[in-house]
A and B are shown apart, each in its own frame.
Chain A
């Protein structure tokens, strides 16, 4: 048994370019005039910005029980970043798209553990079987914002997730307007306002927390079996809880603009969208070509179970025919990585990055 702890402070890591003076870029070489070239402002300087500091504390307990039959560790950690640099998107009239502020703090609390258990451990017979489990989960929380950012919110694009900085909220929360589905009579989307009213009109004021991308728990379940010369190992990655924003549905089925209707589109855009009064459909009316704002309709819970690794092997040694081939031993292995994927969200890999089931076979000879 061993108990350890550590504490440390790190500065800015993985950080974007932020400067205390403004930075300019030359206009591209196709843009010039009779006076020559020009430069334009690329990034507005922020002279008062302090770098981020993150303090990390962690403690872990390693254990080894029942004569090596049960081993593993538990690890708890807490990371606090204070002051936080928050890149806040301002209205486009300020001319600035992402202005860094020193405000608030972000705390991550998490736990990790790994346990390996040998139900059968018989070295005499050459039979061992182990089961392993790793698990990790974490939670994040903002603090210290108060009302400072009440009128400023971070946003990326019109169709991506919205993130809000409010005390007590998680950094990975998904913010969108609550949707009540498509009205069968008109084909338009119905939204739920903050006061609990039904409305057809989209208003950014009604955006609420509709999910969180962080899983409740994720890790790997594995099993390893060894019987004399035969080995078998299987690992499965699991993820329980957490939501994801389905941008494929959003882009391919719904947000088809009037000019793109003339091109080929996803089949679901015709068959699954609302067409006439009385249709019960998940997607808005086919004649609606205005842009769909992000709503909870596209946020789905993301539980997955996927293959991490598979390994089946057989080792030939002490066989008579090995000597005649001049070999000391021959090891054969069959391996696979991506061959299984179960999820509550239908993933669309598209034509750029299709899902490939790969299997490999190897022969290793030693002389």
Chain B
């Protein structure tokens, strides 16, 4: 009896010692996922969340392909997409049919998914304080807010109403500033734009100590934590990118005074965003910088860019799939001026004879794989700042002068001061933004309803700017 009591006491003592240290033993972290608590407890973790957002932004679903190379430019009638082409339904504005419906759906859901990531990031930075120093925290928050404003703004430009008409008070899209499980109402376009500008204003204040202001755009050296906030600033939403976005947003709203103000703020530091050289545009045959990366204020790095080139623009692709304009249309667009850097550099008939017309070379790979401007797609360039300034100048003659600065750096002769600013500006937009997706927004903003038909040698089409909200959104709303 005594031994039974003794042994059970020993057993009991052993059990209590084991189980008291057990609470952590039962706590197992998953190995293939990372919890928010682990991620936001180290600076590297927080860095990877912010970097993840830029990687999503640069993906094929967003600025790596859809918003720049393909969908947006097809909507602007850039390419020859006849009824035999796979993407015909996009150029004929058949928004209910695939592939138009699925691509627009992809843009919408990926954009808002990224917005959720941004909101979650901002909330968590505030929740898990003490990991970052105040300076870095301000830069991260500023960039995150700028990403949020940027995504929302482009969604507005795509799905929203033509702003200059009475539609600007019609319900357009929802704006999200929190992670939440409730639905935000559809805001009218003017309130939506107010929120965009509010976010950009807040971002501008937080980015006041951005390294780009003092150091300019520097290259990524050895990977150190310090590099993340100081290097390659033009691949991130930096201080000047925020100012540039503000200029874009104000111009979209028709507020020329503010648009001019912010465009000029960037033009004042134009030496940070150097013009491309004629050597690069005309003589460099092996490794030309076709995207004019030195002029870039904000751009994305898409590691899938060259495989996208092979699927979209390469001369060996069948006519059913290739994105190339009708040659006569292309020549009219560039006014048959082979001196234009953009025409000379980016368009050529393939030497293999695979196609009889000129194909788009901007996103073709180069020989030297070490160049930093590989995989780059520009989203905001200094030339656009000059265009915004030209359009917003009260006197047309000063506007023409601004246009001439850009023209001089594109190998073109200056315009006479009496030239028609509107026509010349439209021509510049058409020449400059091939493969960057900005032309559709320009047409929409200027209410250009009749555009040259990209799929026929002559004649116009009426652009349909009424893009419906995708089904994944409208099917859940009662309004």
Q: Which residues of A contact B (CB under 8 A)?
A: 19, 21-27, 30-42, 44-46, 89-96, 99, 101, 150-153, 155, 158, 204-205, 257-259, 289-291
Q: Are B478 and A205 in touch, CB under 8 angstroms? A: yes
Q: Are B478 and A151 in touch, CB under 8 angstroms? A: yes
Q: Are A38 and B472 in touch, CB under 8 angstroms? A: no
Chain B 35-49 residues near chain A, CB threshold 8 A: 35-37, 39, 45, 47-49
Asked whether any CB of chain A lies closer than 8 Å to the CB of B181, the reply is yes
Q: Are A204 and B176 in touch, CB under 8 angstroms? A: no
Stretch of B97-105, B257-265, B342-350, B424-432 that contacts chain A: B97-105
A-B contact pairs, 20 of them (CB 8 A): A25-B33, A34-B235, A35-B51, A35-B220, A36-B223, A40-B53, A40-B117, A44-B116, A44-B179, A91-B183, A91-B472, A95-B113, A95-B114, A95-B116, A95-B179, A99-B181, A151-B476, A152-B183, A152-B476, A258-B98
Query: How far does the alpha carbon of A89 sit from the alpha carbon of B301 in the complex, in Å?
Result: 33
Q: A96-B181, A290-B97 are in contact. Are A33 and B54 (CB under 8 A)?
A: yes
Residues of chain A within 8 A of B129, CB atoms compared: none
Q: Are A291 and B96 in touch, CB under 8 angstroms? A: yes
A interface secondary structure, majority: loop
Query: How far does the alpha carbon of A44 sit from the alpha carbon of B124 in the complex, in Å?
Result: 12
Residues of chain B within 8 A of A42, CB atoms compared: 33
> In the complex, what's the smallest C-beta–C-beta distance from B224 to chain A, in angstroms?
11
> In the complex, what's the smallest C-beta–C-beta distance from B176 to chain A, in angstroms?
7
Interface string of B458-478 (1 = CB under 8 A from A): 000000000000111111111
Instruction: Indicate which residue in B58, B97, B475 contacts A155 across the interface (CB closer than 8 Å).
Output: B475
Q: Are B301 and A258 in touch, CB under 8 angstroms? A: no
Instruction: Indicate which residue in A19, A35, A90, A259 contacts B183 across the interface (CB closer than 8 Å).
Output: A90
Nearest 9 Cβ contacts at the A-B interface: A95-B116, A38-B52, A38-B51, A92-B472, A290-B96, A91-B476, A22-B36, A38-B55, A92-B109
Residue of B nearest to A44 (CB): B179
Asked whether any CB of chain A lies closer than 8 Å to the CB of B420, the reply is no
Residues of chain A within 8 A of B184, CB atoms compared: 93-94
Residues of chain A within 8 A of B35, CB atoms compared: 19, 21-24
Q: Are B112 and A24 in touch, CB under 8 angstroms? A: no
Residues of chain B within 8 A of A39, CB atoms compared: 34, 39, 45, 48-49, 52
> In the complex, what's the smallest C-beta–C-beta distance from B36 to chain A, in angstroms?
4
Residues of chain A within 8 A of B246, CB atoms compared: none
Asked whether any CB of chain A lies closer than 8 Å to the CB of B228, the reply is yes
Q: Are B181 and A31 in touch, CB under 8 angstroms? A: no
Q: Are A40 and B112 in touch, CB under 8 angstroms? A: no
Known: A37-B51, A39-B52. 14 other contacts (CB 8 A): A26-B34, A35-B54, A35-B228, A38-B56, A40-B56, A41-B116, A42-B33, A91-B183, A93-B112, A95-B112, A95-B116, A99-B181, A152-B183, A155-B475
Q: Are B176 and A91 in touch, CB under 8 angstroms? A: no
Chain B 95-141 residues near chain A, CB threshold 8 A: 96-99, 101, 105, 108-109, 112-117, 120, 124
Residues of chain A within 8 A of B33, CB atoms compared: 23-25, 42
Asked whether any CB of chain A lies closer than 8 Å to the CB of B88, the reply is yes
Query: How far does the alpha carbon of A291 sit from the alpha carbon of B472 in the complex, in Å?
Result: 13
Give the interface size bracket for B toward A: 35 or more
Q: A33-B58, A38-B54 are in contact. Are A151 and B303 (CB under 8 A)?
A: no
Query: How far does the alpha carbon of A253 sit from the alpha carbon of B155 in the complex, in Å?
Result: 35
Q: A24-B33, A27-B55, A41-B120 are in contact. Are A94 and B112 (CB under 8 A)?
A: yes
Q: Are A33 and B476 in touch, CB under 8 angstroms? A: no
Residues of chain A within 8 A of B449, CB atoms compared: none
Query: How far does the alpha carbon of A158 sit from the alpha carbon of B474 in the complex, in Å?
Result: 12
Q: Are A259 and B34 in touch, CB under 8 angstroms? A: no
Residues of chain B within 8 A of A259, CB atoms compared: 86, 98-99
Query: How far does the alpha carbon of A205 sit from the alpha carbon of B181 in the complex, in Å?
Result: 22
Q: Are A101 and B181 in touch, CB under 8 angstroms? A: yes
Instruction: Indicate which residue in A33, A93, A290 contacts B473 across the interface (CB closer than 8 Å).
Output: A93
Residue of A nearest to B124 (CB): A22
Q: Are A34 and B52 in touch, CB under 8 angstroms? A: no
Q: Are B36 and A21 in touch, CB under 8 angstroms? A: yes
Q: Are A94 and B54 in touch, CB under 8 angstroms? A: no
> In the complex, what's the smallest C-beta–C-beta distance from B304 to chain A, in angstroms?
7
Q: Are B116 and A94 in touch, CB under 8 angstroms? A: yes
Query: How far does the alpha carbon of A205 sit from the alpha carbon of B477 in the complex, in Å?
Result: 9
Q: Are A41 and B117 in touch, CB under 8 angstroms? A: yes
> In the complex, what's the smallest C-beta–C-beta distance from A191 to chain B, in angstroms?
15
Of the listed residues A24, A25, A32, A290, the one surrounded by the most CB atoms of chain B closer than 10 A to its CB is: A24
Q: Are A24 and B49 in touch, CB under 8 angstroms? A: yes
Residues of chain B within 8 A of A153, CB atoms compared: 476
Residues of chain A within 8 A of B182, CB atoms compared: 94
Interface string of B296-334 (1 = CB under 8 A from A): 000001011000000000000000000000000000000
Instruction: Indicate which residue in B53, B105, B235, B304 contacts A30 across the interface (CB closer than 8 Å).
Output: B304
Asked whether any CB of chain A lies closer than 8 Å to the CB of B232, the reply is yes
Q: Are B476 and A155 in touch, CB under 8 angstroms? A: yes
